[in-house]
Amino acid sequence: MESTAMAKIPQQSELLFDGAGERQRETFNAPPMLLVRGYLSQAQQQILWQEALMYPLQKPVVEVFGKPHPIPRTQVWFGDLGCDYLYSGMMVRALAWPKYCQRLRLMLQRDFQFQSNGVLVNRYADGRDCMGWHSDDEPELQPGSDIASVTIGAARDFDIRSRQTHEKIRLQLESGDLLLMRWPMQQQWQHALPKRLKLQEPRINFTFRQLIPYFHSQ
């Protein structure tokens, strides 16, 4: 972990930073996000976990300074027709939505009026798997759209840092939690999933996104 002090976020059942939290955001420069603890029931988590055992997860190899590096996790992209995703220079074609993943997409639409047409599923086999600092701000993402992140399996720290001030916030995302990252969080903040070398349990994360359809075939 870097030396910058982490801001303390209260661990309540629901943290609201948008709407009613407008004044709070001005005062603490909090990211525009909503954390819903236990959004999925145990039964929903289990059924999704079972379904994910069948997902065709892959470990893409990306080039860093001219050298091939397999990414430290496995992933798969599901989406509507025309919602292909350009990821680290690779065109990832959208596979058809699996049943329970599609149900989760509809739940998010029902509960938060959250629209999505694609989901990136990341599986972290254990605490050695991770994700470095980044923002989800690819050009094919619909301007003004939010990103919904749902976690099942092992609890992991999720770090957020301001692009401007480098102020850091650490959340712990637990099985069943939903983190709604509201526009323009990706423009102002980065996030990362740090390694946890002692952790042996797997974790799966779904990030639902809204793409501009046929962006890559225009």
Ligand X SMILES: O=C(O)CCC(=O)C(=O)O
Residue 193 binds: one of Fe ion, ligand X, none (C-beta under 5 to 8 A by kind): ligand X
Minimum separation from the CB atom of position 195 to Fe ion (A)? 16
| Binding positions for Fe ion, 84-143, rule CB under 5 A | 136
Q: Which of 178, 69, 188 is nearest to 130 (CA)?
A: 69
Residue bearing tokens 């999925």: 40
Give whichever of 22 and 69 is closer to ligand X, judged by the CB atom. Answer: 69
Which strands sit side by side in the sheet containing 14-16, from one edge to the other?
Answer: 14-16, 33-36, 178-181, 147-153, 203-209, 118-124, 74-79
Give the side-chain half-sphere CA count within 13 A for 178: 23
**Chain contacts with ligand X (rule: CB under 6 A):** 120, 122, 131, 136, 149, 158, 173, 191, 193, 205, 207
Q: Does 157 bind Fe ion (CB under 5 A)?
A: no
Smallest separation, CB 208 to Fe ion (Å): 12
Would the CA dihedral through 64, 78, 108, 101 be positive or negative? negative
For ligand X, give the closer residue by CB, 116 or 149.
149
What part of residues 135-154 is at the interface with Fe ion (CB under 5 A)? 136
Indicate the residue among 136 and 167 with the shorter CB distance to Fe ion.
136
Q: Residues in the site for Fe ion, rule: CB under 5 A? A: 136
